[in-house]
Amino acid sequence: MLEHVPEWIGASLRNVRAGAEHLTIVNPALGNGYAPIMLSSSAFADWAELPPRFTADGAGVSPPLVWGEVPPGAQSLALIVEDADSPTPAPLVHAIVWGMAPDTGRIAEGAIVEGGATGEVGRNSYLAQGWLPPDPPSGHGEHRYVFQLFALDVTAEDLGDAPGRGAVLNAMQGHVIGAGMLTGLYARGEVVDAPVAEGGLPLPA
């Protein structure tokens, strides 16, 4: 969709970005002191370029994800993927998966679709159920696509079909005991330069 936005418009909005401070993982309503969870993908490294296959410039399928041990008290898991650099007031939501079992351990490539994954697949910012392929405007520069995994100390409540970010955030408040993060970079028609390590987004301490 945004591939048709003229490059000059993207360039004029280059400094208009949602900001990492608005990502779900740093929302103070969720609390602090999370135990770290190692979240990774076999398709790309942390702070490396997201392969086009997983974007609107390729097949547009969701990437494979795998994670390590979760805190002993975890009763359910949730995944939220957001674009920290979208030219919008809040980060665009690219995926929500709610109510995964604590021993899930992975999400297969292409599984974040209606009826797929291992939990309830929620609504993205385009109000569709499933993976919203990254589609940054030409000329807007590099975008950070932040995969955020949360371990909760309660079983997932029923949020209905295809819950959105607001409903998931409300349900997680006061229940997050662990979190992991993986960042993929993508820019349309530009070279991606991975930032140095200190440019990462720390978990709340």
CA distance linking residue 61 with residue 111, whole number of Å: 8
Phi/psi for 34 (5° steps) reads -65, 145
At 67, the amino acid letter reads W
Rounded to an integer, what distance in angstroms lies between the CA atom of residue 125 and that of residue 147?
A: 15
The residue with tokens 């520069």 is 141
Structure tokens at 25: 């993982």
Coil, helix or strand at residue 89: coil
> Could you list the pLDDT tens digit for every one of the 205 residues in the chain?
555 544 433 344 455 588 899 999 999 999 878 899 999 999 999 999 999 999 999 999 999 999 999 999 999 999 999 999 998 899 999 999 999 999 999 999 999 999 888 889 999 999 999 999 999 988 888 999 999 999 999 999 999 889 999 999 999 999 999 999 999 999 987 666 655 444 445 444 4
Is this model's pTM higher than 0.85 or not? Answer: yes
